[in-house]
Amino acid sequence: MKIKLIALVILFFSLSACHNFLDVIPETSLTSDSFYQSQADFEQAVGGIYAPLQGLYNQDWILNEMRSDNTFFIYNIAQRGGKPQEDPATFTVENNNTYTLGKWTNDYLIISRANQVLKTIDAASFDQAVKTNLKGQALFLRAFAYFDLVKNFGGVPLFVDAATSYKETFKSRAEASEVYKQIIADATAAAKALPAQASAAGRATSGAAYTLLADAYMNQKSWADAETALKTVTTLGYTLLPAYADIFKPTNKGNKEIIFDVQYAEGTSQAIFNALPYLFIPVLADPSVITGVKPATQQTYGGYNVPTPDLLKVYEDTLKDQRFSASIGFYTGPSPLIGITYNRTPYIKKYLHPHAVYGQTADNGPIYRYAEVLLMLAEVANEQGRQADAAGYLNQVRARAGLTPLTAGSQADVRTSILKERQIELVFENKRWHDLVRSGLAVQVMTAKAAKIKANPQAYYYPAGSAPISTAFNITDRDLLYPIPVSEIITNPDLKQNPGY
């Protein structure tokens, strides 16, 4: 009996020791409870919120620029692996498209990370000014992600708290108006919390938040509210650079015109370089004839986001307008593609600058810059009946381009001039599709482009003897939004698909 008692005592203390051992936080791993404590923890966490921006930007040219009348693609008969990239341009998007799923996933990754920071930062103990800045960045990025979602998908599930259980990750779609209400609340709070000067390269500022706020207001036609936000941006030290081409040079990052952009770098141990300029030139046996970088190998992919004949005709004066030569290059030479001849074939030159490593550039992706603020101010003034003010803002942008000023006409005429100026000034910055949607012209403009492609496929980079499939370019109001990714609907039965998909 005594032996049994001793054994029970030993077992009791063994179990107690085991329990205490399990209570010790492992030193080789982190949990949300153990990580979100110090200033360094939150600085690292906020840095992580920015990371999916590269993924978003790498997809935006497919879903927004090639979707518009600005660009198309060279149809490569021998390489059909790029079909998911082409489908948005031909309006044949399916609900399992890789790039719509990528946009959805990256936006919600930003939102999830922002929610985790916002949930825990107030309880942490470190410098209040630093804390306010970090909180402002999280709010800005959450607003940015929801704005991207609502423009592309309409109403989406709205999460403003970090999920604590698997069940909490399932929500039905909120109305678009509810999403916009959250965007405006977040962007307003961010604008008040953020400094005018970025705390580090690529970080959000009050100028970025006010510009996002104005953008959201304009999408809801709240012109006076948008103007108030934009007027604040004009007081924060931004200006137009004298030379348009200088805005985008990697050697001129963080210049006075850039309000917010996506950061890239070449030649680092991390894959944070920008490879898009290589996708935007024609497929070549030796791409160094355009890029200047050797050693180079024959491209597998390329010929995407090719400027259309329609775009080339929009420029008033290709000799005077410095934006033309800064944005578009032309190539004549041998083509390795079946049925394709390169004879003054246009390509995007705007982001092609000297770099050292093949396939890697350091060109940043512009999101907001001061020229757009001026064009936004022109729009809100015009929509409030102040055509002379609108022309004044418009002519600031035209003067930098080297063009003569426009005189104020009717509201409809000025509206047309602003849309055209946005098309040229912001070309290849992934703005055109949403401008067409916002102005109510998307179906009309893209149906007209579709008719031209069907009438003359070779003028739009189809090989001799080939043409779009019969189901391409059947454009309706359905196409103003993308489909909710089918994998999300399978996972979450509460989600309802957009009409027509």
Q: What is the pLDDT of residues 285-308, one digit of tens each?
A: 999 999 999 988 877 789 999 999
pLDDT over 70 (residue 491): yes
pLDDT at 5 over 70: no
Beta strands in 76-235, from DSSP E residues, in sequence order:
none
Each residue's pLDDT tens digit, 97-152: 999 999 999 999 999 999 999 999 999 999 999 999 999 999 999 999 999 999 99
Q: In whole angstroms, what separates CA 240 from the centre of its chain?
A: 22
CA separation for the pair 77, 335 (Å, rounded): 13
295 upstream amide cis, omega within 30 of 0: yes
Give pLDDT tens digits for 359-388.
999 999 999 999 999 999 999 999 999 999
Q: How far apart are CA 475 and CA 457, in angstroms?
A: 17
For 236-263, the DSSP string reads TT----SSGGGGG-GGGTT-TTEEEEE-
Q: What is the predicted pLDDT for the residue at 132?
A: 97
Q: For 261-279, write each residue's pLDDT tens digit.
A: 999 999 887 889 999 999 9
What is the pLDDT at residue 390? 98
Q: List domains and CATH numbers for the chain.
A: 39-204+475-501 (1.25.40.390), 276-348 (no CATH)
Looking at residue 298, its pLDDT comes to 77
Compute the distance between CA of residue 276 and CA of residue 61 in angstroms, rounded to an integer. 9
**What is the three-class DSSP state of 416?**
helix
pLDDT digits (tens, 9 = 90+) for 187-203: 999 999 999 999 888 99
What is the structure's pLDDT at 8? 35
Tokens of 78: 């021998």
pLDDT-derived band at 16, boundaries 50, 70, 90: very low
What's the pLDDT score for residue 29? 46
| CA atoms of 104 and 482, how far apart (whole Å) | 10
Specify the residue for token string 């498209």. 97
Residue 406, number of CB atoms within 10 A of its CB:
17
366: Cα separation from own chain's centroid: 9
Instruction: Give the model's pLDDT for residue 167.
Output: 73
In three-state secondary structure terms, 15 is helix
Strand segments (E) across 301-361: 306-307, 328-333, 342-348
CA–CA separation, 453 vs 473, rounded Å? 9
Q: What is the pLDDT of residue 136?
A: 98
Q: What is the pLDDT of residues 460-485, one digit of tens each?
A: 999 999 999 999 999 999 999 999 99
**pLDDT tens digits along 388-439:** 999 999 999 999 999 999 999 999 999 999 999 999 999 999 999 999 999 9
pTM value is 0.92
Burial string for 368-384 (b: 16+ CB within 10 Å, else e) reads bbbbbbbbbbbbbbbbe
Total residues belonging to the chain: 501
Residue type, 226: A
